[in-house]
Chains A and B, each alone.
Chain A
Amino acid sequence: MNNLKFRFVAVPSMVAGMILFGGGEAWAMHIMEGFLPPSWSLFWTAVSLPFFVLGFRSMRKIVADNPRMKLLLAMVGAFAFVLSSLKIPSVTGSCSHPTGVGLGAIMFGPSVMSVLGAIVLLFQALLLAHGGLTTLGANLFSMGIAGPFVSYGIYKLADGMKAPRSMAVFLGAALGDLVTYVVTSLQLAAAFPSTTGGFAAAMFKFLGIFAVTQVPLAVSEGILTVMVYNTIRSYAGETMFSSATLSGEVK
């Protein structure tokens, strides 16, 4: 598979990635540069790497099977950019933003999002001082792997239980969003256990910061994902759409 084809997907994502917003106040989902001890940085990088490779192969296969999928892949990437630019006020009196990775996970299977997520995170880290290179592996695991896999799993589960499709998409996207932040809390708690209360106390603290803020945003993300999913589905036509959905692809 040549890089040319892949570039059609990567370029829109990258261009948008280059222009991701800066500033340090709203990216709740990223662990900031340098805020993870070196051993943990390495650990999460090692965990994320195989998923990234899988995602890359999955993406190549999708495009090779049907070149028209490049457009849909670019669109799910773009959706993640739009959603992550929406800083939304929450019930805790602070702001956070959705992730936008659920849509792609539901349409193409979860591993694709590890590549799109990595592109987003890399450019943010390099150009916008968001997240960081040293925390890239950890951030990729929460946003590009754990979140999408949960989105996809929940969607499949709900769909298998004959839930209405919109409901399945909503649940998948909303819960994937929440899980991203739970994983971030877990990563931070593992790296910075409380001297008095250990891991649990630290986990509780980080969850209080991240997860509670995220609850209404997860609902928003679920709703927005349903809207875009339904629109793409009706415009793409069933033949194209059903070939996009890689039902068998849980790796």
Chain B
Amino acid sequence: MTSRTPATIDEADIPVWSHRPKVMPKKVKGPIRNLKWLVMAVLLGIYWGVPWLRFDRGPFAPDQAVLIDLPGRKAYFLWFEIWPQEIYILAGLLIVAAIGLFFATAMLGRVWCGYACPQTVWTDLFMLVERWIEGDRAQRMKLDRAPFSVSKLGKRAAKYLSWALIGAMTGGAWILYFNDAPTVVPALFTGSAGFAVYATVAFLTASTYLMAGVARENVCTFMCPYARFQSAMFDKDTLVVSYHPARGEKRGKHKAGESWDGRGHCIDCRQCVEVCPTGIDIRDGLQMSCISCGLCVDACNTIMDRLSLPHGLIAYDTERNLELAAAGKPRVWRFLRLRTIGYGLVFTLAFAGVLYALIARAPLEASVLADRNPLFVRLSNGDFRNGYTLKLLNKSNEPQQVAITLDGLAGGELSILSHENEASPLIDLAPDTVAAVRVFVRLPAAAWGGAPLDYGFTIHDAARGLTLTAPARFEGPQK
């Protein structure tokens, strides 16, 4: 990127703001481009398609396969259902994703950026539309320079409107993950959807337009934090987009029929620069702005074909291989390294942990909140009594009934507020809710030894054969 600049500048000529050249990538054809189209189609397909999948959860829960129900404080994903207190599962998923990213980066460099990052996918889509409307690089540059005209206005308007439409579809699809898709889409158009829905659509439409239409490579170069620390995961065996200087230099123009002796294979055609979506010159070596999309590989290979030279002047290769090639030695591939094995192991463990947490999730849970003000109450006959609020979580989609008994408190007597007159009361638990049950435990003065007693509440769900014990503590005066 270092262009020739004069050695000095007059104080008055220092600009108020910096001028960055517009990057106008050229169309490119090749296997990597095809792979990128495929990845883009799959990812966008997932994004726009998944909210429409139905999943029967019975009468008490929504039937959308993937749904984050914010008012209901629940998240549904196929068979899995996540409650707010299980948000650690989401944290676990984020950890899994982060380690997965590290693993992929150690193996294949900034491959996430080049293929799967939403910024890349949507920018690619926006550029595709741009190319359809305004033509390829040369035509776009010409249009950019052209004076104002009806035709220019028409093209620009068509482009901006198309972008806005894609932006709206992007924002529109996002809310489907938080609302029942078949209900909210008609509501969206009839104006009966909520303020949050419209605000979200508006915000995401604007941000999609700004990010994929206006900011583009600036996001990858200046905003993305991942770009800043990805190099920490790189080593000499990481696969990165590499220009082989040993083969390419000394670069220069080449006439048909000329001998290749004494010069490099790079003919300085600048195709690799022109197709680059971040506007860099890969021949300057690996740099932060390179998103590893490999379009320069396709572009260079096309030229190599034309020159009847072998592919791979620019290729996915490792730093080690660049050195070996320079020394005239054969390539080595070392995918199993301490770093990749480590990341792989941690990834597997984290993933297994999250999966276990999801699968082993109990449909019934209880937590005990002991009264603290006061810790205990003295009754007329000298007995001590502790009050508790039991939070009973029915995490299933069906109503349940549970019985509560004391476990391990000799002489203790349980009474449940609002069920005082029942011999063996059953507590009703509505589906997918937390029931708060107020209970009192009474202990004869004779049974109190002067130190807190640890025991438990046994919650028994006869219908499902579930029993669980929630730990509790009985407090009294110190003797």
A interacts with B:
no
